[in-house]
Amino acid sequence: MNTKKLDTRRRKAVKVWDAFENNKKPIIILGAATCGRAAGAMDTWKAVEKVVKKLKVDADIVEVGCIGPCYLEPLMDVKMPGKPRVSYSNISPEKVERILKGFFKEDEIPSRDVLGHFGDEEIDGIPKFWDHPMLKPQVRLVLRNCGIIEPTNIDHYLACDGYKALEYTLSHKPVEIMQLVLDSGIRGRGGAGFPTGLKWRFCQDAPGDEKYMICNADEGDPGAFMNRSLIEGDPHALLEGLIIAAYAIGASKAYIYIRAEYPLAIKRLEKAIEQASKLGLIGKNILGSGFDLGITIKQGAGAFVCGEETALLQSIEGMRGMPRSRPPFPAQKGLFGKPTTINNVETLGTIPNIVRNGAAWYSGYGTEKSKGTKTFSLAGRVRRTGLIEVPMGMSLREIIFEIGGGLFKPFKAVQTGGPSGGCLSEEFLDTPIDYDNLAKAGSIMGSGGLIILDDNTCIVDLAKYFLNFTQSESCGKCVPCRVGTRHLYEILDRITKGDADTDDFEKLESLGQAIKGSALCGLGQTAPNPVLTTLKYFRNEYLAHVKDKRCPAAVCRELVTYRIIPDQCTGCQSCVKVCPTGAITGPRSEPHNLDEELCIKCRACYEICRFDAIAGDAIVITSGAESAEATTN
C-alpha cells in the first residue's frame, strides 16, 4: 500500500469513527482491559447482552481499554443517538437492567451510579466526566486513546490521526527524525531516564547494515501496570512508535519482548500487527518508501531480570536471561552481536505524538530536565487507585491527595520505582516529581509504579518484601547481588522477628552501599535502595522492632498476636465458625477464647468480626507490650 491508498483507507476509517461518534443506534461501551475484567467486566457484558435482548433494543456493544479510574470498575458507558456518552461506575451485573431501562424505556439519563458524561454541554444532575477530581488535573498525551477508541479496530486509530506520524517519518531522513526526538527532550520511560534521541543516535552511528529495534514490554516491577494498560487500550500507538524508531535507527527487524503474565496485551498486539501488516504498514516496502520492517513478539517467561536490557537480549536469543557488563552497549553490540536499540513501551507510545505535533509542543510540558508527561499506576492504600498521566514536575502531594483523593488513614510513605526504588516520607510530598529530584531523594522514577502506604503498612516488612523479591530474582551471575541481597534479606528477616540488634543497621548500610557500588547490572545496583531509604527516613520503626520487639503497624507475623477483647465480644460465634484451626472456642453469648498456640494468624476471625453485623470490633491484632497503641484495623 502506498500513501495514496492509505488516504483512501483513512477516509473510510473516518466514516467508521463518525458512525461511532454520531451513532444512529445506541452503543454500550464496556471497559474490559485486564483490570476491568478482574473487577467483573465480562459478567457485566453478559448481563448487558441479556438485557438488550430482553428489552428488544438494537444496540451495539463495544469493548474499550482502561480509561484510568480502576477503583470504579467495571465501567459501563451508554451512548444514545444524538446524545453524549455517559459513564457509569461499579456496574455489577444486577445494575445493568436498571440503567439500560432508564435510557431505552424512560428516555432519561439515570443519575444513580453515574460518573459523568463526555459532552461539552451542561446536563442537569450529570457531571462532566473529565471534571472528575481524579481526571481533571491529568494531561493525557500518550493515554489519549485509552478507553476512548476500540483497541481492536484499526479504523478508530486511523481516524484519530493514527499512522500520520509514520507517513511524516517516511517522507523524512532518519537523521531528521532522530533530531526531532532528541530536540523534544524525551527521556526513557523505563526508569533510567536516558535521552531517547541520544540512544537512537548511538545506534544510527554504529557501523553495520543489520540492526535491531526492540520494545521492552517486560513490565516486571511489581506494582506497575502502565504498559499493560497502554498496550491493551491503544496497541497501534506502540506499533507506530516502534516502526518510526526502527526507521530512525535503520533496523529492518523489530521485536516486542512482552511478559507472558499479560495474555490480553499479547492478544491485542498480535491482532494489531496482523491489521497493520494487511495495510502494508509493516512488512516489505512500507507505504512505498522502500523501508522494510518485520515485527516479532517474544514472550518473556517470568524472569524479572530480563527487563535489564542485556539480559533481555540473552533471553530473545534463547539463553538464560543473564546480564553482561557494559560496554559494549547494545547500540554497538546488541542482539546477535548487531547494533540494537531497546526502548520502553511508554517511550515508543509517545513517539507518534512527538512526530505529529513537533518537538517544541512536547517539551512545552514538564520541567527543565524532564520533559513531557509521565504515566503512573496509583495503588496501595490510596482512595482512588488506577492509571494516571501527569506532566513531569507535579508534586507527589497533588498526585496522592488531589488525583488520588488521599488515604483513609494517615499517610506514611510513597514507594516509587518498585524494587529498585525507595520509600519517601512526608517531607518529600512537595517535591516536584522528575528523574533528578527522585534520584536526589534516594529513590528513582522507575517505570511509574506509585504505591501509597499508610499506618497499617510496616516499613521493615516492605523492605524485606522487596529484598526477598530481588534475591529470588537475582540471576546469580555476580557475587554482590547473589550473596549480598541474600544477606540483606536475612538481616531484615531477623529484624521482623525481633531477633536483631542495632549493630545490624550498620551492617545493612555498609553492605547496601557495597552492593550498590559493585553489582553487575541495574537489578543488583539498585536492590539495596528499599532498605537504605527506609533505614534513613523510618529509623524509628526499625528501632521499635529491634529494641521493643514490637511492630508498630502490627504486620510482622512473629511480633503480632490476635486477641479477643472480652468486653466487646458478644459471643456470636461468627469467629468460632470461620477459624480454620479451632483456635477460637466458647459458648454462645459469652466472650470467646483464642488459643495462641493454635492460631495461624490468617485474619479470618478479624475480618468476620469487623464486617459481620452481629459481631463488633472485638478481635484486635496487636504487637508488643503497649498493645492498645498498636491496634490495627
Partner 1 sequence: MASNPLSSILENSSGSREDLIPVLQKVQAVEGFISKESVGLISRRLKISENEIHGVATFYAQFRFTPPGEHHILVCMGTACHVKGGAQLVITLEHELDAKTGETTEDGKFDLDQVACLGCCALAPVVKIDDKIYSQMSVLKLRQVLDEYKEA
User: Residue from 89, 385, 420, 496 that binds partner 1 (CB under 8 A)?
Assistant: 385
304 touches partner 1 by CB under 8 A: yes
Residue 552 interacts with partner 1 (CB under 8 A): yes or no:
no
Residue 534 contacts partner 1 per CB under 8 A: no
Q: Which DSSP category does 443 fall into?
A: -
Does a cis peptide bond (omega within 30 degrees of 0) precede residue 327? yes
Q: Which of 555, 377, 379, 541 is CA-nearest to residue 452?
A: 379
421 close to 530: Cβ distance less than 8 angstroms: yes
Residue 383 is a binding residue for partner 1 (CB under 8 A): no
Residue 416 to residue 395: CA distance in whole angstroms? 13
Choices 111-119, 141-149, 242-250, 459-467; region in contact with partner 1 by CB under 8 A? 459-467
Closest to partner 1 by CB, 85 or 259: 259
Stretch that binds partner 1, among 137-145, 189-197, 270-278, 604-612 (CB under 8 A): 604-612
C-alpha cell at 195: 535521552
Which C-beta is closer to partner 1: that of 365 or that of 469? 469
CB 223, min distance to partner 1, A? 3
Residue 260 interacts with partner 1 (CB under 8 A)? yes
Task: Give the C-alpha separation, 296 to 154, whole Å.
Answer: 19
Distances from the Cα of 614 to the Cα of 434, 499, 527, 568, 585, angstroms: 50, 40, 47, 12, 17
Candidates 136-144, 460-468, 491-499, 533-541; binding stretch for partner 1 (CB under 8 A): 460-468
**Is there binding between residue 526 and partner 1 (CB under 8 A)?**
no
Which one of 580, 598, 625, 629 is in contact with partner 1 (CB under 8 A)? 580
**12 vs 577 by CB, closer to partner 1:** 577
For partner 1 (CB under 8 A), the number of binding residues is 67
Q: Shortest distance, CB of residue 260 to partner 1, whole angstroms?
A: 6
Q: To which residue does cell 499493560 refer?
A: 228
Q: If DSSP states are collapsed to H, E and C, what string results for 210-246?
A: CCEEEEEECCCCCCCCHHHHHHHHCHHHHHHHHHHHH
Q: Which of 323, 449, 480, 522 binds partner 1 (CB under 8 A)?
A: 449
Binding test (CB under 8 A) with partner 1, winner from 123, 465, 571, 631: 465
Nearer to partner 1, 187 or 228 (CB): 228
**Is 203 or 388 the residue whose CB approaches partner 1 more closely?**
388
Q: Identify which of residues 137 and 432 has a Cβ nearer to partner 1 in the complex.
A: 137
All three cell numbers of 54, joined, read 430482553
**Residue 191 in contact with partner 1, rule: CB under 8 A:** no
604 interacts with partner 1 by CB under 8 A = yes
Of 197, 174, 181, 176, nearest to 247 by C-alpha is: 174
DSSP 543-576: HHHHHS---TTS--GGGEEEEE-TTT-----HHH
C-alpha cell at 472: 529470588
According to the binding rule CB under 8 A, does residue 471 interact with partner 1? Answer: no
* 257 scored as a contact of partner 1 (CB under 8 A): no
Shortest Å, Cβ 112 to partner 1? 22
**Which residue type occupies 274?**
E
Stretch that binds partner 1, among 86-94, 102-110, 362-370, 374-382 (CB under 8 A): 374-382
Sequence-distant (≥ 6) Cβ neighbours of residue 377 within 8 angstroms: 223, 224, 225, 226, 229, 386, 387, 388, 448, 449, 450
Residue selected from 22, 325, 513, 581 as contacting partner 1 according to rule CB under 8 A: 581
Short-list 388, 360, 340, CA closest to 185? 360
CA proximity to 502, closest of 464, 558, 545: 545
Select the residue interacting with partner 1 from 547, 558, 603, 629 (CB under 8 A): 603
Residue 473 is a binding residue for partner 1 (CB under 8 A):
yes
Applying CB under 8 A, does 533 fall inside the site for partner 1? no
| Per CB under 8 A, 598 contacts partner 1 | no
Check binding of 377 to partner 1 (CB under 8 A). yes
Window of 350-358, 497-505, 560-568, 600-608 that interacts with partner 1 by CB under 8 A: 600-608
Nearer to partner 1, 423 or 515 (CB): 423
Q: Does 497 bind partner 1 (CB under 8 A)?
A: no
Of 178 and 450, CB closest to partner 1? 450
- Which among 328, 307, 311 has a CA at the least distance from the CA of 319? 311
Cell numbers 521499635: residue: 544
CA distances from 385 to 200, 276, 380, 406 (A): 35, 33, 8, 10
| Ranges within 64-93 binding partner 1 (CB under 8 A) | 70-71, 73
Residue matched to cell numbers 494498560: 229
Nearer to partner 1, 302 or 566 (CB): 302
> Of 167, 238, 244, which Cα lies nearest the Cα of 6?
167
Residues 6+ apart with CB under 8 A from 365: 139, 141, 371, 372, 373, 391, 392
Q: Which class for 233: exposed (0-12), middle (13-18), buried (19 or more C-beta within 10 A)? A: buried
Helices H, strands E: what count in the chain? 25, 18
Residue with smaller CB distance to partner 1, 310 or 377: 377
Minimum CB separation of residue 317 from partner 1 in Å reads 6
Residue 462 as a binder of partner 1 (CB under 8 A): the answer is yes
Residues 207-226 that bind partner 1 (CB under 8 A): 219-225
Give residues 308-327 in contact with partner 1 (rule: CB under 8 A).
Answer: 315-322
Q: Give the rounded distance of the alpha carbon of 337 from its chain centre.
A: 32
* DSSP 8-state code for residue 402: I
Q: Which residues bind partner 1 (CB under 8 A)?
A: 34-35, 37-40, 70-71, 73, 219-225, 228, 260-263, 298-299, 301-304, 315-322, 377-381, 385-387, 415, 418, 449, 451, 453, 457, 462, 465-466, 469, 473, 475, 557, 578, 580-581, 600-604, 607-608, 611
